[in-house]
Amino acid sequence: MFTCFISRTPSPRRKANGPHPHPQRRCGSRQPRSAGAQARRFFIEEGTIYLDGNSLGPAPKAVFDSIDRTMREEWAKGLIRSHNTAGWFMLTDTLGDRLAQMLGAGEGEIVVCDTTSLNTYKTLHAALSMKPGRRKIVAEGTSFPTNLYMAEGVRSTLDGATLALEGRDGDRIEDIIDANTAVVMLNHVDYRSGVIRDVKAWTKLAHERGALVMVDMCHSAGVIPVDLHDLNVDFAVGCTYKYLNGGPGSPAYAYAAKRHHGKFTQPLSGWHGHAAPFKFEQSYRQGEGARALLCGTQHTLSMRALQSGLAVFDDVKITDLYSKGRALSDLFVQLVESFADDFGIGFYSRKTARYATVRFH
């Protein structure tokens, strides 16, 4: 199967200490750049046409100086002082709040940490901890495989826990959400077809049946408009090496709605998630807010790379980027259709309800 992602799409950042307006609005008073102008902020080797941003976004030019400065100044000269003077220790929160501005969340609701798989494990456990009388996880059978693997891992740790999949245990997801369902795990965008799932509607249904919702944003954050508060999901996870320009192995992120802060637990209780990490207490006390989803020491160099990647989103409107991506994908479809039959190429993606991606087989 051939996969082609047409647009490398950044999304906007707003003032770090200001209010969190709707994520589709630009920050400050800067004039938004055109979608095409953003391409100049990335390094692409001459003669290369890169159409695989769904797997790894290209390198922002600013990242080279950022990593060099972190190594030569903050690490080599600042040494351990840089945990405070350079803000290393709180990058989980600093970058989390930066993402919150882009994703329609509030301060203290997102932490940047670990991997998507680990954050999936933690947030599923968190949801289950809030529903002690329920032991069922519901997910899409077509979910990205690691999500299902982690759900199986969660199931293995809890007596009586079950995992029900749409397409295997029921034709439709609403058929398998019942009174024993603790959490419904959804993907905002289907990684194979690019179809945008109606997360808001499914969240409403799940809540009506007493279940919580965790959504995977890996294939939507940075490429389509996202508003977590409007979606009303309870937890969310996502990666940063695709459309958020974080680089290979860059940290993931986890979201916990403010209404749930202080009401959940998760088993990976590392020192970074402790309420007072530098008191070095013998027993664990959970930190506040989304910090309760933190575990151990994070990767500072990768955090700095992500910080440079997110700067690309300073002055661009996500709605413009989304429209540009859709227009480019429509053009690409038209071009491929002109010779598709001759080479036996078929469309895996539906031609509607998808974002800026085209998939063939």
Q: Give the whole-angstrom CA distance, residue 78 versus residue 101.
A: 30
Contact 104, 228 (CB under 8 A): yes
Using 50, 70 and 90 to split pLDDT, how confident is the model at 51?
Answer: confident
33: number of Cβ within 10 Å:
19
Contact 272, 111 (CB under 8 A): no
Closest CA to 95 of 109, 84, 83: 109
The mean pLDDT of 36-64, rounded to a whole number, is 86
24: number of Cβ within 10 Å:
17
Whole-structure pTM value: 0.87
pLDDT score recorded for residue 104? 95
Q: Cα 151 to the chain's mean position, in Å? A: 17
Q: Give the whole-angstrom CA distance, residue 41 versus residue 312.
A: 7
Mean pLDDT of the chain: 87
Burial of 171 per CB tally in 10 Å (0-12, 13-18, 19+): exposed
303-347 pLDDT, tens digit each = 999 999 999 888 887 888 888 888 888 888 888 888 888 888 877
Q: Give the whole-angstrom CA distance, residue 123 versus residue 185.
A: 10
Find the DSSP H helices in the chain. 62-69, 82-85, 91-103, 116-129, 145-157, 199-208, 228-231, 300-311, 318-337, 340-343
